[in-house]
Structure 1
Amino acid sequence: MLVVDDDEVIRQLIAVNLQLEGFEVATAVDGQDCLDKVREVGPDVITLDVMMPRLDGWVTAVRLRQDPATSHIKVVMITARAQEHDVRRGEEIGVDAYVAKPFDPNHLIQTVRKLAAVSK
């Protein structure tokens, strides 16, 4: 499990909630950090914030999908921008799920659990 968010409070909130559910969690501070760590971590699921410095969530998701070594990883976009065109853009990229901020931690956990089970 790799949690990617530039906001430390949100990153820790997501990580702690997932750890309490038994997930092994690594974190990254932005899209570039995610791409630097993804092979080492080998996550089944990545939660990816959209609005981040250096590399945003959209570009990061595209790069994950383009790389044969990471294209199988499930991606959950977490964003305050949940308009229909954003959801469509995510579908075009191949994002597996979309969670709008502010999010219910239980909903996020259920989404991640479902995707992790599919990737096993």
Structure 2
Amino acid sequence: MSKKRILVIEDDRSLSEVLAYNLRQEKYDAVVALDGMDGLRQAQLKTPDLIILDLMLPQMDGLEVCRRLRSDPVTSNVLILMLTAKSEETDQVVGFTLGADDYVTKPFSVKILLERIKALLRRRESNGEASDTIVSQGVMIDRRRHRVMIDDVPISLTRSEFELLEALVRQPGRVFSRAELIDAALGDDALVLERTIDVHIRALRQKLEKHSELIETVRGVGYRFRDPDTAFKKQTT
């Protein structure tokens, strides 16, 4: 079973490190971004289950990040817990209006924060809203069970191959650069060459067999998973 992924968007490096450490102690897969723009990018690449979002951020403030997350089909259903030093009621109202699921003000107890996170995740599971399964063009990815099936036949993937395929399938038609795929599949702290992604793509295509053409090469840029709408239009013209 895969870990729940939590993205911490917090510009205070020491606080973000404390949060990431405690989340990992609780067996979550913790990812950190130190500004709003990077946080939005990480959310789109890694599709977390929950985002801890600071309100006062460089590059792009938390309210704008929240608005963009909710307007993007890829991240529209991700749980958002806003974290901020502001405690005025108006800020909380704006946050909830934009789609935040919970609101915690600084200073706070890490233990209490963890309990709020658990409660949000439990509520999501009990409501049956978790997006742990993706199906596209014969490819089924079950993140909770860490399983991939092609036309109902299971295939075995390494963790990197699994993360890479998930990133591509979640956003069909989007072109990913090699650097973005390294970030999505191997982590932004991975010390690897961009050509490493080519090796992973080659191995992934071999395992996809007749569905290998679903992963398209965009010369000079990177890779994308074939957009089913585009493929349908080609077949009908």
Q: TM-score, normalised by structure 1?
A: 0.95
- Deviation, structure 1 residue 30: 1.1
Which residue of structure 2 lines up, in the alignment, with residue 87 of structure 1?
92
1:73 aligns with 2:81: no
- Deviation, structure 1 residue 116: 2.0
Contact 2:9–2:54 (8 Å) recurs in 1: yes
Query: Which of the numbers 17, 36, 41 marks the counterpart of 1:31?
Result: 36
Q: Please show how residues 37-116 of structure 1 align to structure 2 within 5 Å.
A: 37-116=42-121
How many residue pairs get matched? Answer: 120
Structure 1: state its 5+ residue gaps.
none
**In angstroms, what is the RMSD of aligned CA positions?**
1.0
Which residue of structure 1 lines up, in the alignment, with residue 198 of structure 2?
none
- Deviation, structure 1 residue 69: 1.0
Moved over 4 A (4+): none
Q: Distance in 2 between matches of 1:98 and 1:10?
A: 17
Letter in 2 for 1:35: L
Per-residue Cα deviation, 1:39-86 (whole angstroms, up to 9, x for no partner): 322210000111111101010000001111101000011001021111
Which residue of structure 1 lines up, in the alignment, with residue 216 of structure 2?
none
Structure 2: state its 5+ residue gaps.
1-5, 125-129, 131-237
Which structure has the larger Rg over C-alpha atoms? 2
Worse overlay, 36-45 or 69-78: 36-45
Q: Distance in 2 between matches of 1:43 and 1:116?
A: 12
- Deviation, structure 1 residue 115: 1.6
